[in-house]
A and B are shown apart, each in its own frame.
Chain A
Amino acid sequence: KNQVEQSPQSLIILEGKNCTLQCNYTVSPFSNLRWYKQDTGRGPVSLTIMTFSENTKSNGRYTATLDADTKQSSLHITASQLSDSASYICVGNVTSAGNMLTFGGGTRLMVKP
């Protein structure tokens, strides 16, 4: 069964601090892994997408890593801002032809001043 598990479930940090969110996935056959940011009451917005051959990908202050051997991914947020408060969702893509996604439960991040 395809599964994506994220930790922690929630996290509170102070503005300006860094943080790392974790994702473990069991998705087969694996095509790519995505991180989405979802503001409260809004739809998810893509941050990064990585295939099995990519180890790291950055999008501004967001840096995602992927270890295809251990089936783990992380999302590192640098110099956090209040606007980073949101849910971060890790998503595994089973196949590139068809687009069936397996969603994690998300990490709820709150950045406090």
Chain B
Amino acid sequence: ETGVTQTPRHLVMGMTNKKSLKCEQHLGHNAMYWYKQSAKKPLELMFVYNFKEQTENNSVPSRFSPECPNSSHLFLHLHTLQPEDSALYLCASSQLAEGPSSYNEQFFGPGTRLTVL
């Protein structure tokens, strides 16, 4: 295991539902990420949190709302989703460090398979 856990692993929801995805990292990292992976498409970065502050929002629709209460936990709140939002949602964490020799390797969780009906 990578040290990053996600719950639930599978989620089916209607377009009018409200649900939340949870991510927890046990690695002591200072950055966390949400990615979307649709079928036959590259991973798309959604949000980045550095030291609990959101530093990236890649033009994500407002029906996706992230929350980072501390450096170990990350949530993605979902409401009024569309069928095209069905995808694998991946959380990742890394320890950011300055300098050309730093790899800033990201560790991914197992993902939440989301189906919107």
Question: What is A's interface to B at a CB cutoff of 8 Å?
Answer: 4, 31-32, 34, 36, 41-46, 49, 51, 89, 93, 96-101, 103-106
Contact = CB atoms under 8 A, between A and B. Distances in A.
Contacts, number: 66
Interface residues of B, number: 31
Interface in B44-69: 45, 48, 56
Contact of A96 (B4, B42, B100, B107): B100
Q: Is the interface of B mostly helix, strand, loop or mixed?
A: loop
Contacts of A103: 42-43
Nearest to B91: A43
Contacts of B101: 51, 96
A43 B103 contact: no
6 contacts: A41-B88, A41-B111, A93-B104, A96-B104, A97-B96, A105-B42
Given A51-B103, A99-B94, A103-B43, 17 more contacts: A32-B103, A41-B88, A41-B111, A43-B2, A43-B110, A44-B43, A45-B108, A51-B101, A89-B42, A96-B100, A96-B102, A97-B98, A99-B106, A100-B45, A100-B56, A101-B43, A104-B42
